[in-house]
Structure 1
Amino acid sequence: MKNKLIFILVITFSFSVSAQIYTPDGIVQGESVNNNVGIGTSSTDAKLTIQAGPNGYPTPLKAISIWGPNSPTNFNSAQDISWDFSAAGSAVIRSYRGGSWDTYLQFLTNNFPGNVPEVRLHINGDGNVGIGTTNPSNLQGWSRVLDVSGIHDSKILATSENSTYKVGIFSHNHNWYGGGGFVGTESNHSLHFITNYNPKMSILTNGNVGIGTINPTSKLTVAGNIASREVKVTVDAGADFVFEKDYDLPTLESVDKFITKNKHLPEIASAKEMQKDGINLSEMNIKLLQKIEELTLYVIELKKEISNQKEKITIIEKQIKSQVSK
């Protein structure tokens, strides 16, 4: 009777503690209370807990190593870690053997039960990354490439923590501003282009563009010099009104008095005003053209006066000769 009691106690105790499998290098332990499994540890907080080594253990340290018959030589072979959900999609992490010595890492998902998972992210053995493609384009031979590919369009978006600021790179082949490549913000904020941590060009939400300034006050504000082969300025009107019959051409006497008093031409800003407010090229060109046309009229009038004087002088000379000959 005593032996039977001891036997029952041993059996009961064995079912109340964890079962352990001893291996040469560690312990695989299953907890009967929560059905968790621990490798290298008896303290588990998930269905599988792996402790590869104690704190301070040299790194890198392999926690999981997968090896199979496809590993040594077969091309186009793959080894998967898969998550399948009842009445839902699935997700896969795949190590994929390519040609030569190439080994790829892929992340696959699908969103419907029974569908074959599709590659969403692909990492080549050389470190190039493709999103939406398993063949990241690298025609120029860059050291590292991130290739984001979509059927019709694709986008890389950077968003601040509170989603206040959003800036992205977009590629769209139709139905969006005619298609093409785009860089810009999705939020109502300015876009700045920087070099050496300093803004060099800014585009505000009102469309103003600043070069050398982050506060442009016009469609294009440049804080610096501009070098150009040609500049074309469109205007609404010219200065041909000067040649109209009803134009009141200032007399040279009035212009002379104005210049003597103000030290600049009428209707032209003074040097101090130009230094303070700058010059509107369109308005200034029209004003200068107006002055040139006025000057042309003065020259024409002066030519007429000279011609009249010559005629009078000729008549006087003839009269003098006639008197002398008598």
Structure 2
Amino acid sequence: MKTQLFSIALLVSSFTFAQSWNITGNSGTNPSNNFIGTTDNQPLVLKSNSIEVVRIKPNGNVGIGVISPDAKLHVAQDNINNQNLVLGKFTSSGPTGGSAIVGLTYNSTTANLEVNSTYAGNGFRYGTYGDFNIENDTPSPDFGAINFITNKKVQMAIMPNGNTSLQGKFEAKELKVTLTPTADFVFDEKYDLPKLEEVEKHIKEKKHLPEIASAKVMEKEGVNVGEFQIKLLQKIEELTLYSIDQNKQIKQQAEQLKHLKDENEDLKVQSAKIEKLEQQVQKLLSTKK
């Protein structure tokens, strides 16, 4: 009887041991039967020092520091030393901020997403001076663009050669374009200012200003804003020179008109004197008769 009881106890012990989940590792597991979790409509809760740290709801939402996560990953921690969520911290130097804190890689050396920082202070930082960079180090001129995609379309792309394309309107309170040279060469004494007759002839034949692309060319090839602004400034400066020359002519004509008016007044005075003299002669002749 004792032998039978011992055998039964040994069997139960072996069965119990076989069903346990060892904290030192397990082998021969089947994920359909062997897992850490719940089998009813209750969340899985992980605690440390009897304090809840992680909660996995039955719908799959994971909460860290929150008991009712409303997203696939919901993090809400107490603000300790101005850091709500610390993904990594290290001390390093260099223009790129050292190694990555967070990296999403397709192999062991290249990261698709990398966030670097050399600072241990608060805030989100990248680089030596706290810049925020979206960077692609590829030397290829044709591949490795940084794309901004919405509605499954590339709305803005920054190419490795520095060119940027934007699909849609661009709005800014201020825009600064740096391009040299400017159009001040128009004011050089040696500048050959086009004759207005030549400009008029060009406009009649081409239907656009000299040195300015036509509407059809602009629609086809677009407009280089910097170069176009310089060309417009050139035309404005040419107009200024025309206006200055026209103002000189107007002043000269005004002086000539004043001179003619003065001469006309003199002629009127002389005419009046002649008329008075004629009257005196006529009177004198009448008296002699």
CA gap 1:170/1:273 in 2 versus in 1, 3 angstroms: same
Structure 2 letter corresponding to 1:255: V
Cα distance in structure 1, aligned partners of 2:7 and 2:147 = 61
CA distances 1:128-170 after superposition (whole Å, capped 9, x unpaired): 9xxxxxx984549xxxx86313243761111126866632222
Match of 1:312 among 256, 264, 268: 256
Residue 21 (structure 1) shift: 5.8
* Pairing 1:157–2:103 present: yes
1:271 aligned partner: 215
2:116 aligned partner: 170
Gaps of 5+ in 1: 1-19, 30-36, 42-46, 62-93, 106-122, 129-134, 209-217
Is the contact between residue 21 and residue 27 of structure 1 (CA under 8 Å) also seen in structure 2?
no
Normalised by the length of structure 2, the TM-score is: 0.57
CA gap 1:275/1:265 in 2 versus in 1, 3 angstroms: same
* Pairing 1:221–2:165 present: yes
CA distances 1:196-233 after superposition (whole Å, capped 9, x unpaired): 66555544444x3xxxxxxxxx1x32221011222122
2:277 aligned partner: none
* Pairing 1:243–2:222 present: no
1:97-246 maps to which residues of 2 (within 5 A)?
97-98=49-50, 102-104=51-53, 126=66, 137-139=77-79, 147-152=86-91, 155-160=101-106, 166-173=112-119, 177-178=127-128, 180=130, 184=134, 188=138, 189-194=144-149, 199-206=154-161, 208=162, 218=163, 220-246=164-190
Cα distance in structure 2, aligned partners of 1:204 and 1:316 = 70
* Pairing 1:256–2:200 present: yes
Is the contact between residue 167 and residue 187 of structure 1 (CA under 8 Å) also seen in structure 2?
no
CA gap 1:50/1:227 in 2 versus in 1, 3 angstroms: closer
1:39 partner SS = helix
CA RMSD of aligned residues (A): 4.5
- Please identify, of 270-279 and 298-307, the stretch whose mean Cα deviation from structure 2 is larger: 298-307
> Which of the two has greater strand per residue?
1
Structure 2 letter corresponding to 1:273: V
Residue 291 (structure 1) shift: 1.5
Is the contact between residue 156 and residue 168 of structure 1 (CA under 8 Å) also seen in structure 2?
yes
CA distances 1:43-68 after superposition (whole Å, capped 9, x unpaired): xxxx976879x969xx847xxxxxxx
Cα distance in structure 2, aligned partners of 1:170 and 1:313 = 78
Identity of aligned residues (%): 32
1:28 partner SS = helix
Match of 2:245 among 277, 287, 301: 301
Higher relative contact order (CA 8 A, sep 6+): 2
Cα distance in structure 1, aligned partners of 2:185 and 2:110 = 54
Match of 1:280 among 185, 203, 224: 224
Structure 1 letter corresponding to 2:130: G
Is the contact between residue 166 and residue 187 of structure 1 (CA under 8 Å) also seen in structure 2?
no
1:253 partner SS = helix
Gaps of 5+ in 2: 1-5, 40-45, 55-62, 69-74, 93-99, 121-125, 139-143, 275-289
Is the contact between residue 28 and residue 39 of structure 1 (CA under 8 Å) also seen in structure 2?
yes
Residue 321 (structure 1) shift: 3.0
CA distances 1:166-203 after superposition (whole Å, capped 9, x unpaired): 322223228x8415375656774444445566555544
2:48 partner SS = strand
